[in-house]
Amino acid sequence: MPDVLDRKLQRAFTLFQGNDKSAPIDRSYFAGLAHHQAATFPGAPASKIEDLEESFTTFWDRYLVKRSAADGTLTGEGFTSAITSALDTDREAFLSDMINIGRCWFAVADTNGDHVIKKDEYIRMYGSLFPLTAGEIATGFAKMDRDGNGVISHDEIRAATLEYWTSNDPEARGNWLFGPFE
């Protein structure tokens, strides 16, 4: 496993774990990630939360359950192993499912419904996930906004998602999909 990609997989699992590292990570936990995003954006339509929850349970059912323990919980090693296996054997479907999670996640953050992420929506979303400095917010937004038009589009979310899960380039813009990446 190349170094940069390996670090990104570990980072994703840590992020999915949230602040309470002792909570068991299982199917219902992944489904519940949708409610974290719902709590950040309480005005989001229920249908968008349902789509997001379904995208996470699909992630579990198609990939993560295969590497979970007998009690239905998943470790960081299991997570990395599941993703690595999916990239090796089921690459196109896996990436398509990851793009769908990203699309659903950002759709909840699109509070004004213009189908793009503006900077205030970005700040609200990432600020709920990380303790970010103003510099990190500016850099992260610029990394996602590839064409520099001041908003993050569907295509830019897609490009970042593909890079996050596949690129071993330490400079790839998509490395910032889940916030600051050195």
Q: How far is the CB of 156 from Ca ion (least distance, A)?
A: 5
Q: What are phi and psi of 116, to 5 degrees?
A: -135, 160
Q: Is 155 in the site for Ca ion (CB under 5 A)?
A: no
Q: Over the range 25-45, which residues count as b (16 or more CB within 10 Å of their CB) and which as e?
A: bbbebbbebbeebbebbeebe
Task: Compare residues 11 and 124 and give the one whose CB is closer to Ca ion.
Answer: 124
With CB under 5 A as the contact rule, the residue among 149, 155, 169, 170 that binds Ca ion is 149
How many CB atoms lie under 10 A from the CB of residue 117?
25
Task: Compare residues 1 and 138 and give the one whose CB is closer to Ca ion.
Answer: 138
Select the span of 50-58, 135-143, 147-155, 165-173 touching Ca ion (CB under 5 A): 147-155
Task: Compare residues 110 and 163 and give the one whose CB is closer to Ca ion.
Answer: 110
> How far is the C-alpha of 99 from the C-alpha of 161, rounded, in Å?
6
The crossing angle, in degrees rounded to 10, of helices 76-89 and 154-166 is: 110
> How far is the C-alpha of 174 from the C-alpha of 172, rounded, in Å?
5
> How far is the C-alpha of 61 from the C-alpha of 57, rounded, in Å?
6
Task: Compare residues 28 and 149 and give the one whose CB is closer to Ca ion.
Answer: 149
Task: Compare residues 26 and 121 and give the one whose CB is closer to Ca ion.
Answer: 121
Q: How far is the CB of 122 from Ca ion (least distance, A)?
A: 9
Residues 107-146 that bind Ca ion (CB under 5 A): 110, 112, 114, 145
Q: How far is the CB of 170 from Ca ion (least distance, A)?
A: 23
The binding site for Ca ion (CB under 5 A) comprises 110, 112, 114, 145, 147, 149
